[in-house]
Structure 1
């Protein structure tokens, strides 16, 4: 199988790259080449900016065709329109990595499958993915463009900590707060249901759909079947760190209102919702598929890797100070409430 990955070194795409390199696959990566040195095996590189469409066609892929093209970095309609122009006659299957955040928010049913209506009032990222999906499916219906849409949810690997709240520099600051004995913020009461999926499991699902004619014209979600509360997720992170867990629970809407960070989409439009993913469609298309890495095992590997690799330990002072201010404000408010209760008893 001859495969082109657009990207190839991100959280999801690197796992796909590494697994394909162990199989009988002629693998090409189309990217700028800045992170290809991180891959364990050499690949066939097409070093280019995919946004430079004319130069790419004339110089890099003019005489190439593929069994499968996968785009991991398509966020705008103009990007998938470009891909259609580039690859409509150069591939037997085009796989677009969308997102499970496209599903209707607020949800009418916490059990989610591919028939759940699309629509997210709270997150522009999700709405753009919906637009991209709609364009690609229109090209399938009108022109026979062989598209498969994949909807992953919250995905992590050894370099990415799957937390609900973080600043611009990722999840390391949550680990540092735990190690320093400081409390961490958890949205709501921490009891909403969520699913986190290891990138290696997601990659096996994506690869199972490659070259699968039954997946053409279909949208398929790929997640673990494990369903955890956010309290359990944070508790497992603390357990992997071998430290006690201290949590402060704050209403999701309050976190959105008191933060300069963009939590409205990622919380109200995604992680604050209880969701259980129904993966029967994937298992029908890829018989024998099963997510094999339980979160408790996967997070131990993530924590171990991040603790031993300084490049993963980017501190985020702005996020840390914000957490401290929110916690201090809550504690002050609780003291005031207690004082008022005492005063009321004196009346």
Structure 2
């Protein structure tokens, strides 16, 4: 199989691309060329790397043709953020490929209502990112039903792994939160700390893409979640991290409006986004149709990134 991976040097591609090579795929990776994979692997020596500015080529209307001209059997799109971008690619490869896999987000659901959330619940997204991704999903699945586009959509939770900072127990990316837990210092959480996070290890996320490729007949025309098999509350996450550092979690709580006054605006916005969604998504469909079950729990996924932060001096 000749497989084109768009945005393949980031979180997901670090794990996905070497596995595709190992399975015998002829892999072409399109990226801006500004980032190297987070982990070295000899498989990358067998990958064709092409530097592409997708935003510029989308604006010029040439990106979809560039992908189609590579004559792929499979296209994995990891960095599509607008319906117009998805439309250009789908129109260009329609009738020419066997499988198009698109990376969405569990943010298409909006706030959790009945949990665990299934893939078939009505979409109620908020915020530009979730709204755009929901529009892409609606367009691609509509095209699958009407025109037979062989598309599968994978909706990840917050992606974790060695090499980058995972969302912390306060629902943002401030490493000082981890340092407070590491030293047994007081940590204030928003509200009662009962909102949830639903991370996924990048290796598991790559695994569900691979499962969808190998189970093409049951994957086409479907959306799947890609999260840990469990969600974790902010306070439960904080306690687990403190325990990992050999400390007690000294937690207190404030209503969000008061809590947000104590942190920078950007940090407060990140927390508001995460606790506003409070995701808790089901992985039953992936198990039933793809035979896929995540290896890492929510806390294990986060600890993979936290351990890397410690080893590389990002947490003191």
- Structure 1 length-normalised TM: 0.77
C-alpha change, 1:73 and 1:62, in structure 2 (3 Å) is closer
Q: Tell me what 1:302 maps to.
A: 305
| Secondary structure of residue in 2 paired with 1:116 | coil
Indicate whether 1:148 and 2:152 are aligned.
yes
Asked if structure 1 preserves the Cα contact closer than 8 Å seen for 2:54 and 2:63, the reply is yes
Structure 1 residue 62: Cα displacement: 5.7
Distance 2:37 2:160 in 1: 21
Q: Tell me what 2:275 maps to.
A: 271
Q: Tell me what 2:74 maps to.
A: 68
Indicate whether 1:125 and 2:112 are aligned.
no
Asked if structure 1 preserves the Cα contact closer than 8 Å seen for 2:100 and 2:150, the reply is yes
For residue 293 of structure 2, the aligned residue among 290, 293, 300 is 290
For residue 219 of structure 1, the aligned residue among 219, 223, 227 is 223
Q: Tell me what 2:41 maps to.
A: 40
Q: How does 1:1-347 map to 2 (within 5 A)?
A: 1-36=1-36, 38=38, 39-41=40-42, 42=44, 43-51=47-55, 52-53=57-58, 61=67, 63-105=69-111, 107-121=112-126, 123-158=127-162, 159-163=164-168, 165=170, 170-179=173-182, 182-211=185-214, 212-255=216-259, 260-261=265-266, 263=268, 267=271, 270-272=274-276, 275-287=279-291, 289-310=292-313, 313=314
Distance 2:132 2:64 in 1: 26
C-alpha change, 1:101 and 1:182, in structure 2 (3 Å) is same
| Number of residue equivalences | 306
Asked if structure 1 preserves the Cα contact closer than 8 Å seen for 2:15 and 2:206, the reply is yes
Q: Which of 154-163 and 270-279 deviates more?
A: 270-279
Distance 1:68 1:155 in 2: 23
- Please give the per-residue CA displacement for 1:177-231, whole angstroms capped at 9, x wherever unaligned: 3345543332221223443221111221121001512211111112221232221
C-alpha change, 1:301 and 1:142, in structure 2 (3 Å) is closer
- Please give the per-residue CA displacement for 1:84-123, whole angstroms capped at 9, x wherever unaligned: 2332244211111111111143x441231011110124x2
Asked if structure 2 preserves the Cα contact closer than 8 Å seen for 1:71 and 1:95, the reply is yes
Distance 2:64 2:218 in 1: 29
Gaps of 5+ in 2: none
C-alpha change, 1:256 and 1:143, in structure 2 (3 Å) is farther
| Secondary structure of residue in 2 paired with 1:8 | coil
Q: Which of 208-217 and 38-47 deviates more?
A: 38-47
Gaps of 5+ in 1: 316-347
| Secondary structure of residue in 2 paired with 1:277 | coil
Distance 1:285 1:143 in 2: 22
| Secondary structure of residue in 1 paired with 2:34 | coil
Structure 1 residue 296: Cα displacement: 4.6
Asked if structure 1 preserves the Cα contact closer than 8 Å seen for 2:232 and 2:298, the reply is no
C-alpha change, 1:87 and 1:171, in structure 2 (3 Å) is farther
Distance 2:19 2:229 in 1: 21
Distance 2:146 2:301 in 1: 43
Distance 2:72 2:160 in 1: 29
Distance 2:11 2:253 in 1: 29
Bigger CA radius of gyration: 1
C-alpha change, 1:239 and 1:262, in structure 2 (3 Å) is closer
